[in-house]
């Protein structure tokens, strides 16, 4: 387990009295002096706690330090609101109270393609497995946040155990439990099959704190994570078939992260939908292809619009009127034709003119549809 590792550059150290209450703040050198003289002890790398005998004696010194800090900064001192904690595989171990622990600690490539040490625990059987952190001494009534990357932790029967737990003062009955499977808790980011979690909690009236990961009936892997801001440059890469698969990506399978011979393998789902879902942004060449085809498609759609406008504005009137006039003259030259025949001829001429325009529109729409299909197939082959 690691705590805030950037506090070395801070200009202030928070001071707690013997009861764990915030008594003020001081400078790092004075804090070191208090610890060396046995008047205080470090709670973490940016907080010290006074001993009972010295609380009253140096309270005035603390107040003076706090006033000096306020004067130096030009504003009131703002207490650090969140204590950040991070997974460190080296400070974790298997829980000896569990007789069926399975798993191992090893280095592997994380979601950001960097090597880090991780714990892979559990299996597909009923082996109940727990890894536990060292016991931490945290300040009371402090908001905290524990960060880590998680992979796996689900099976295709929906009966797995994948949990994170927090115990205060070794009180198992009053522990905090966080189910990390089936989207009970939404991850902050999904990247290359891993899910980023930052679990918030408050210590309340507690100091001694221990973390646990629990797995059963599914392999689960935990690896160290930085703050979420450190991964801002990485776009989310969720599984495109996430809603259909009975379990999420798991390192125990191949590089694809899913079993090859199951109905929910990527190959099977690709075949089901006939086309692969493109999960990355189009390249420059792809974008150029899109732009060229869209320009041609828009030209054809404009032709359709113009054809429709011609119908509405009767721009095709001349050809239609000429055909209608010829038909009427031919009818009048024939003494045997009556008015019914004349109406039939006029109706037929009208329908022919309208059908010619509609056929032109239909042909253009078919060309647009074919071109859109060709564009989609070309992009999916990339």
Rg (CA), the chain: 36
Residue 253: strand, helix, or coil: coil
The answer as to whether 105 is a domain residue is: yes
Q: In this structure, are 290 and 323 located in the same domain?
A: yes
- Which of 25, 45, 80 represents a domain boundary (last residue)? 80
296 and 258 fall within a common domain: no
CB 96 within 8 A of CB 235: no
pLDDT at 9: 42
pLDDT of residue 8: 41
Q: Is residue 167 situated within a structural domain? A: yes
Domain boundary pick from 80, 99, 124? 80
Distance set, CA 158 to CA 130, 142, 218, 230, 248 (Å): 20, 36, 10, 33, 11
**Strand arrangement, sheet containing 40-44:** 22-26, 13-16, 47-50, 40-44
pLDDT given at position 77: 44
Does one domain contain both 11 and 90? Answer: no
Number of folded domains that form the chain:
3
Question: Residue 32 domain-assigned?
Answer: yes
Q: Looking at the structure, tell me whether residues 105 and 227 fall in a common domain.
A: yes
Could you tell me which residues come within 8 angstroms of residue 73 by beta carbon, excluding any fewer than 6 positions away? none
How far is Cα 198 from Cα 147, in angstroms, rounded to an integer?
4
If one counts every other C-beta atom within 10 angstroms of the C-beta of residue 217, the result is 20
Which pLDDT value is given to residue 362?
A: 77
Q: Are residues 130 and 257 in the same domain?
A: yes
Q: What is the pLDDT of residue 340?
A: 63
Give me the tens of pLDDT residue by residue for the chain, a chain 382 residues long. Answer: 666 554 344 457 888 877 777 777 888 888 888 888 888 888 887 888 887 655 555 554 555 455 554 444 444 444 557 999 999 999 999 999 999 999 999 999 999 999 999 999 999 999 999 999 999 999 999 999 999 999 999 999 999 999 999 999 999 999 999 999 999 999 999 999 999 999 999 999 999 999 999 999 999 999 999 999 999 999 999 999 999 999 999 999 987 999 998 999 999 999 888 755 554 455 665 566 566 666 666 676 666 666 666 555 555 555 655 665 666 666 555 555 555 666 666 667 667 767 776 777 777 777 777 777 777 666 665 5
Q: Measuring CA to CA, how many Å separate 339 from each of 146, 184, 321, 323, 344?
A: 92, 79, 19, 18, 9
Are 93 and 204 in the same domain?
A: yes
Same domain, 188 and 259: yes
DSSP 8-class letter at 220: E
The CATH number of whichever domain residue 251 belongs to comes to: 2.60.120
SS3 86: strand
Is 94 found in the same domain as 68? no
Residues of the domain holding 56: 2-80
Beta bridge partners of 152: 220
- Which pTM does this prediction carry? 0.56
Domain assignment present for residue 279? The answer is no
Asked if 186 and 180 count as a contact pair (C-beta separation under 8 A), the reply is no
The verdict on residue 365 lying in a domain is yes
**DSSP string spanning 179-209?**
E-STTSS--SEEETTEEEEEEEEE-TT--EE
User: Are 298 and 181 within one domain?
Assistant: no
pLDDT for residue 358: 76
Sign of CA dihedral 62, 202, 195, 216: positive
For residues 206 and 343, membership in a common domain is answered with: no
Residue 278 covered by a domain: no
- Tell me, yes or no, whether 94 lies in a domain: yes
Beta bridge pairs of residue 225 = none
Residue 269, SS3?
helix
Judge if 147 and 245 occupy the same domain.
yes
Please indicate, yes or no, whether residues 360 and 288 belong to a single structural domain of this protein.
yes
Of 42, 57, 80, which closes a domain?
80
Q: Are 138 and 238 in contact (CB under 8 A)?
A: no
* Residue 335 within a domain: yes
């Amino acid at each position: 387990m690691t705590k805030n590792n950037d506090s070395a550059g801070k200009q202030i150290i928070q001071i707690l009295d013997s009861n764990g209450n915030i008594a003020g703040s001081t400078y790092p050198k004075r804090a070191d002096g208090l610890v060396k003289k046995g008047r205080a002890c470090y709670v973490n790398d940016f907080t010290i706690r006074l001993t009972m005998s010295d609380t009253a004696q140096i309270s005035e010194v603390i107040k003076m330090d706090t006033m000096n800090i306020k004067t130096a900064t030009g504003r009131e001192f703002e207490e650090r609101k969140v204590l950040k904690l991070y997974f460190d595989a080296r400070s974790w171990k298997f829980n000896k109270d569990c007789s069926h622990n399975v798993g191992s600690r090893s280095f592997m490539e994380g979601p950001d393609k960097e090597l880090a040490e991780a714990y892979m625990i559990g299996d597909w059987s009923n082996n109940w497995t727990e890894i536990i952190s060292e016991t931490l001494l945290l300040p009371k009534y402090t908001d905290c946040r524990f960060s880590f990357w998680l992979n796996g932790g689900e099976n295709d029967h929906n009966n797995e155990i994948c949990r994170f737990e927090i115990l205060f003062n070794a009180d198992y009955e009053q522990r905090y439990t966080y189910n990390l499977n089936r989207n009970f808790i939404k991850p902050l980011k999904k990247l290359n099959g891993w899910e980023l979690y930052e679990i918030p909690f408050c210590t309340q009236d507690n100091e001694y704190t221990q973390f646990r990961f629990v797995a059963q009936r599914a392999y689960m892997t935990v690896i160290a994570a930085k703050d979420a801001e450190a991964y801002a440059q990485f776009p989310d890469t969720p599984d495109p078939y996430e809603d259909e698969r009975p379990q999420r990506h798991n390192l125990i399978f191949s590089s694809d992260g899913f079993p090859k011979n199951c109905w929910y393998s990527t190959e099977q789902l690709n075949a089901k939908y006939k086309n692969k879902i493109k999960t990355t942004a189009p390249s420059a060449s792809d974008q150029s292809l899109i732009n060229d085809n869209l320009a041609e498609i828009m030209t054809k759609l404009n032709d359709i619009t113009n054809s429709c406008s011609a119908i509405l504005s009767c721009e095709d009137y001349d050809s239609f009127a000429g055909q209608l006039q010829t038909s009427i003259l031919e009818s009048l030259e024939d003494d045997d034709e009556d008015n019914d025949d004349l109406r039939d001829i006029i109706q037929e001429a009208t329908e022919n003119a309208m059908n010619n325009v509609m056929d032109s529109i239909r042909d253009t729409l078919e060309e647009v549809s074919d071109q859109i299909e060709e564009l989609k197939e070309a992009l999916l082959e990339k």
